[in-house]
């Protein structure tokens, strides 16, 4: 690495997702690590990832990581459950900077906080089919019972803006029915869009089920990771731009969505052709 | 063109879509033009197209058309409303073979059959936002009143398999409410997935609204186009494989979906990397 150790701590963190969902992770990083700079990439030209194959998700993630490395990032956050499930461990050996996904932090806190050992996981077809949450939870709690349910309509319902709509409630009731019978005390919202449905999920499951938001835990995990590598930004060099956003399509739409959920106003999302 | 005119009529027709939706068009071609051979490409690695920008859809369509030309097709069917809306007229001048989309055939029959001149169009955000149906209908019937409505949840509901589900009925009631008030007598199902929802749409709109399936009209239009160019297959050279399917991801899932809706069993969908 050409940068000195002193310089590297001022480098941005690279964050990526298939589209806008990862902004819930970016939001937590902004809140919990306010000194950190960030380069965010949303793959809006190829979104969604949740219904696509492992091989394709690895290929797309590799392209994005190369792009972020070109931007001089000091660490990478895979802010997408499907990419964390399929690509993270595959790509880690190719990197000389630390990388963290959303699955491990979410799985760890669920394993540590469940009382009855019964944990539900909702996510995309890819994430749930990969069984990665089950595997990771059992590394921390071998006797945990993990029940997964793919909820493919949640992302389009969020993107339609029907967050608390009666139709969304009905769809959620259908998807969550199996959890109510099985007596889980913890539910992992295993897709970055889902925290936007928190109050709908809470209304169906009641107050006794703990809803785990991996975005929150991932920001905590990133903090620990940067500390471990002596990469924490101490707030110097404030003249550098703090946040940069890149997308592979529909930059204006992305910007509008980002400005509806982020704690700060973003001025621009830049369009790039990621496959080239 | 290197092939003789006599040989060219035995060449396959190229058909493409963002994924499985275009199979409703492929099905009509198989039924109405049983002598024709076909190469189908479904862009399952980048599906859906409906929420993406014009520029991206043109870029993707150009890549696919190059692929199909490499397979020696004699004509191209853009079996996707969004690609027909955004890319067809842009790419036509680059081609030396005839090309047809799904929009014009559907718009023409709607303009010709409406009695009260009020036509509804449902489709993706891209198709409806492009206003292409309005423009094309008015070429045939300048005083037509065309009311468009984007229905972004229909594709995920179809892909979830909830074709006649009460939730789908409720979503459809919401989307179609404005049409019921406006007194349309014709509704164009302007996305290739939507004919699979025909009975749900029929149940809400009643028998008095004519549902136009552009897939049917497109197969008719293809027949006329091949005849015009003297490219109709007379059924000779039966030793050549009749149907070939290619996808950019998840070939097995595609094959299963295809076999659930096509009139013949397909043995294989071959995976290719379209962006390379």
Mean pLDDT score of chain A: 95
With 0-12 CB in 10 A as exposed, 13-18 as middle and 19+ as buried, what is B85?
buried
Question: Which residues are CB-neighbours of A68 under 8 A, at least 6 positions away?
Answer: A14, A16, A39, A41, A76
Q: Give the separation between CA A28 and CA A213, rounded to whole angstroms.
A: 10
The answer to whether residue A3 scores a pLDDT higher than 70 is: no
Q: Which residue, among A33, A41, A66, has the nearest Cα to A222 in the 3D structure?
A: A33
- Tens-place pLDDT, residues A209-225: 999 999 999 999 999 99
Look-up of token digits 């592979």? A248
The two three-digit tokens of residue B81, written as one number: 């409303």
| Structure confidence at residue B235 (pLDDT) | 86
pLDDT greater at residue A101 or residue B180: A101
Q: Specify whether the CB–CB gap between A28 and A218 falls below 8 A.
A: yes
Q: ipTM for the complex?
A: 0.91
The two three-digit tokens of residue B69, written as one number: 């030309």
Which residues of B participate in catalysis according to the annotation? Answer: 80, 191
Please tell me the total number of residues recorded for chain A in this structure: 276
- Tens-place pLDDT, residues A230-242: 999 998 877 778 9
| Structure confidence at residue B4 (pLDDT) | 59
Select the residue of A155, A171, A249 nearest B167 (Cβ to Cβ). Answer: A171
Q: Chain A residues with CB inside 8 Å of B156's CB?
A: 152-153, 155-156
The two three-digit tokens of residue A124, written as one number: 């995309």
| Structure confidence at residue B7 (pLDDT) | 84
The two three-digit tokens of residue A73, written as one number: 């990032």
Query: pTM to 2 decimals?
Result: 0.94
Contact flag B159-A51 (C-beta cutoff 8 Å): yes
- Tens-place pLDDT, residues B29-61: 999 999 999 999 999 999 999 999 999 999 999
Q: Which residue of B has its CA nearest to A250?
A: B53
Q: Give the separation between CA A163 and CA A186, rounded to whole angstroms.
A: 21
Q: Helix H segments across chain B?
A: 5-8, 23-32, 54-70, 81-86, 88-91, 103-113, 125-130, 132-140, 154-159, 166-182, 198-205, 214-228, 251-261
Q: Which residue of B has its CA nearest to A154?
A: B156
Neighbours of A203 (CB within 10 A): 13
The answer to whether residue B2 scores a pLDDT higher than 50 is: no
Q: Which residue of A has its CA nearest to B46?
A: A46
Q: Give the separation between CA A189 and CA A195, rounded to whole angstroms.
A: 7
Min Cα separation A261/chain B (Å): 20
Which residues of A participate in catalysis according to the annotation? Answer: 80, 191
The whole-number average pLDDT for the span B128-142 is: 97
Select the residue of B156, B167, B249 nearest A56 (Cβ to Cβ). Answer: B249
| Structure confidence at residue A5 (pLDDT) | 63
The three-state secondary structure class of A122 is: strand
- Tens-place pLDDT, residues A21-75: 999 999 999 999 999 999 999 999 999 999 999 999 999 999 999 999 999 999 9
Mean pLDDT score of chain B: 95
Q: Specify whether the CB–CB gap between A149 and A191 falls below 8 A.
A: no
The whole-number average pLDDT for the span A242-263 is: 95
The whole-number average pLDDT for the span B83-98 is: 97
- Tens-place pLDDT, residues A170-205: 999 999 998 988 999 999 999 999 999 999 999 999
Q: Which residue of A has its CA nearest to B272?
A: A56
**How far lies B122's CA from each of B20, B179, B203, B213, B237, in Å?**
18, 10, 16, 11, 41
Q: Specify whether the CB–CB gap between B215 and B190 falls below 8 A.
A: no
| Structure confidence at residue B214 (pLDDT) | 97
> How far apart, in Å, do the first and last CA atoms of chain A sit?
25
Select the residue of B56, B160, B174 nearest A45 (Cβ to Cβ). Answer: B56
- Farthest-apart Cα atoms in chain A, separation: 56
List residues of chain B with CB under 8 Å from any CB of chain A.
44-47, 51-53, 55-56, 59, 152-153, 155-157, 159-160, 167, 170-171, 174, 248-250, 273, 275
- Residue B1: pLDDT band with limits 50, 70, 90: very low
| Structure confidence at residue A87 (pLDDT) | 98
- Tens-place pLDDT, residues A132-162: 999 999 999 999 999 999 999 999 999 999 9
The two three-digit tokens of residue A213, written as one number: 């938001």
| Structure confidence at residue A124 (pLDDT) | 96
Q: Measured in whole angstroms, how far is the alpha carbon of residue B89 from the centre of its chain?
A: 15
Show the 3-state SS of B92-146.
HHHCCCCEEECHHHHHHHHHHHCCCCEEEEEECHHHHHHCHHHHHHHHHCCCCEE
Would you give the DSSP letter of residue A75? E
Q: Chain A residues with CB inside 8 Å of B153's CB?
A: 153, 156-157, 160
Q: Specify whether the CB–CB gap between B206 and B238 falls below 8 A.
A: no
Q: Is the peptide bond before A48 cis (omega within 30 degrees of 0)?
A: yes
The two three-digit tokens of residue A163, written as one number: 């967050």
A-interface mutation test, from B44, B47, B51, most A Cβ less than 10 A away: B51
B-interface mutation test, from A43, A63, A82, A156, most B Cβ less than 10 A away: A156
Q: Specify whether the CB–CB gap between B274 and B70 falls below 8 A.
A: no
B117 sits in the region (left: phi over 0; alpha: psi -120 to 50; else beta) called left
For residue B6, which phi and psi values (nearest 5 degrees)?
Answer: -65, -40
The two three-digit tokens of residue B80, written as one number: 């996707």
């Amino acid at each position: 690495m050409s940068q000195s150790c002193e310089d590297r701590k001022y480098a941005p963190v690279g964050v990526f997702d298939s589209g806008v969902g990862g902004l819930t992770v970016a939001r937590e990083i902004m809140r919990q690590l306010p000194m950190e700079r960030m380069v965010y990439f949303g793959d809006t030209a190829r979104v969604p990832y949740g219904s696509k194959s492992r091989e394709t998700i690895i290929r797309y993630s590799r392209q994005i990581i190369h792009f972020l490395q070109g931007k001089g990032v000091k660490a990478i956050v895979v802010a997408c459950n499907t990419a964390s499930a399929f690509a993270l461990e595959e790509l880690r050996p190719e990197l000389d900077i630390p990388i963290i996904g959303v699955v491990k932090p979410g799985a760890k806190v669920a394993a540590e906080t469940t009382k009855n050992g019964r944990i539900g996981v909702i996510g995309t077809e890819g994430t749930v089919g990969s069984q990665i949450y089950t595997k990771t939870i059992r590394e921390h709690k071998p006797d945990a019972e993990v029940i997964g349910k793919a909820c493919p309509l949640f992302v389009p319902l969020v993107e339609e803006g029907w967050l608390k709509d009666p139709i969304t409630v009905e769809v959620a009731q259908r998807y969550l029915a199996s959890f109510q019978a099985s007596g889980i005390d913890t539910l992992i919202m295993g897709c970055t869009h889902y925290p936007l449905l928190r109050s709908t999920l809470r209304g169906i499951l009641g107050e006794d089920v703990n809803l785990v938001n991996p975005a929150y835990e991932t920001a905590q995990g990133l903090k620990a990771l940067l500390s471990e590598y002596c990469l924490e930004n101490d707030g110097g060099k404030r003249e550098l731009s703090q946040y940069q956003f890149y997308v592979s399509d529909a930059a204006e739409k992305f910007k509008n969505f980002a400005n509806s959920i982020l704690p700060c106003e973003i001025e621009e999302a830049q369009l790039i052709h990621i496959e080239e």
